[in-house]
Amino acid sequence: MNVLIVDDELDYRLILGRLLNERGNTVFLAENGRDGILKLKVAQMDLIITDVYMPVMDGFALHRAIRQIKGYESVPILFVSAYEDDPSHRATRNAKLDAFHRKERPVEELLAWIDYLTGVRTVKPAQRPTRVRIPQPVASAA
């Protein structure tokens, strides 16, 4: 599977790219939306993972541009961001083609979204994961 990762954070691109490459994917990297559009001419992408807030062209503009390109009308797009806000969630208009993952969440959740969007999983991961409450230790009576 060809995966395009678009993110202005070099470390995030490299770490995620390595993870997906180790899972058998061919990974293409871009530092902003404009660079991402250029990468679409290199190979047909099966999945696009894009940061939301980037300089030059942000993830929202990239999403709109991709959906206008012939052959990319139904390619899954996974938005990732350090910020979880309403504009990010509203950008995920089609529940089967678009999703949002907060960068600070466990990598297993990111992989679950990727598997869901690419058809490996049929169960949709939670859109807004709930935090697990960890019980406080009980003080022992001495």
Bridge-partner residues for 50, per DSSP?
A: 6, 79
The one-letter amino acid at 136: Q
Confidence of residue 36 (pLDDT cuts 50, 70, 90): very high
The one-letter amino acid at 27: V
Look up residue 135 and give its DSSP letter. P
Question: 2-117 has which CATH code?
Answer: 3.40.50.2300
Q: Which two tokens stand for residue 101?
A: 């993952």
Residue spans of the domains in the chain: they are: 2-117
pLDDT at 130 > cutoff 70? no
Of 93, 113, 94, the residue nearest 102 (C-alpha): 113
Listing DSSP states for 94-115 in one string gives STTTEEEEETTS-HHHHHHHHH
pLDDT in tens, 39-69: 999 999 999 999 988 899 888 899 999 999 9
Tell me the mean pLDDT in the region 101-116: 87
| CB contact at 8 A, 48 and 4 | yes
